[in-house]
Amino acid sequence: MPLPLLALTLGAFPAIAGTPPLSHARTAAEAGLVVVRHQVADIAEDMKYAGSDNFTGAPVPGYLAPVCLLRTAAAEALARVEATLRPQGYRLHLWDCYRPARAVAAFVRWAGRPDDPTSKALHYPNLAKSQLLGEYIAPVSGHSRGATVDLTLMQCTGTRCTPLDMGTDFDYFDPMAHTDDPRVTTMQHENRQRLVQAMAAQGFVNYPQEWWHFTLPGAAEGAVIYDIPVR
């Protein structure tokens, strides 16, 4: 849910009414965050914000390594989704998991800068950058609670896997990325629903404005957010 824009800076989170409390945890272990690859050693990952292939065009503050961290219950549930999919010829492909609060603050700062033509063409061709704050970029993200994951679905034959056509790419800021947008093709809608149903079977709830975004209710530590770097 969009929240009022807060004045956030790297590692500094003022006590403003309505702001979720920042955890005092200083390590992933203290926060109850585990490496998803310890649950599924060969799960497919392309952690977008650890590199430059994302809407900001650069590695995002807080991402020191391309690692998927989640709270233990969310990681275990995700492993069950993967285990259920594989006999059906499908696999998950992860793009983002736990997201440090400083990374979210960096997204807000990015939204206030002038347009980059390449990023606009790929990620928000039909919107002004100022329109991204709120529905698409908020000053507080559920990812910072460690129970939210961004991912897609691949169809596999043996070890060869191909991403399913979902109608848009990841981080495509446009109503076309809404899970039930009526403009996608029948096949694209079916692919989105296949992902939603596989995740829902293990308790994950889809954010309807982003077909790739899922949260496991109850896996987080209340409303607490974390700012531990991903390493």
Structure tokens of 76? 């275990």
DSSP string, 123-167: H-TTS-GGGGBTTTB-SS-GGGGT-EEEEEEEEEETTEEEE---S
Residues with Cβ within 8 Å of residue 209, at least 6 apart in sequence: 135, 136, 177, 178, 179
Q: Taking Cα atoms as reference points, which of 209, 178, 206, 201 lies closest to residue 90?
A: 201
Residues with Cβ within 8 Å of residue 210, at least 6 apart in sequence: 150, 177, 178, 179
For residues 36, 41, 42 and 43, what is the CA-based torsion angle, rounded to 10 degrees? -20
Catalytic residue among 30, 45, 76, 210: 210
The Cα–Cα gap between 217 and 147 comes to 8
Our answer to whether residue 221 is catalytic in this structure is: no
Catalytic residues: 210
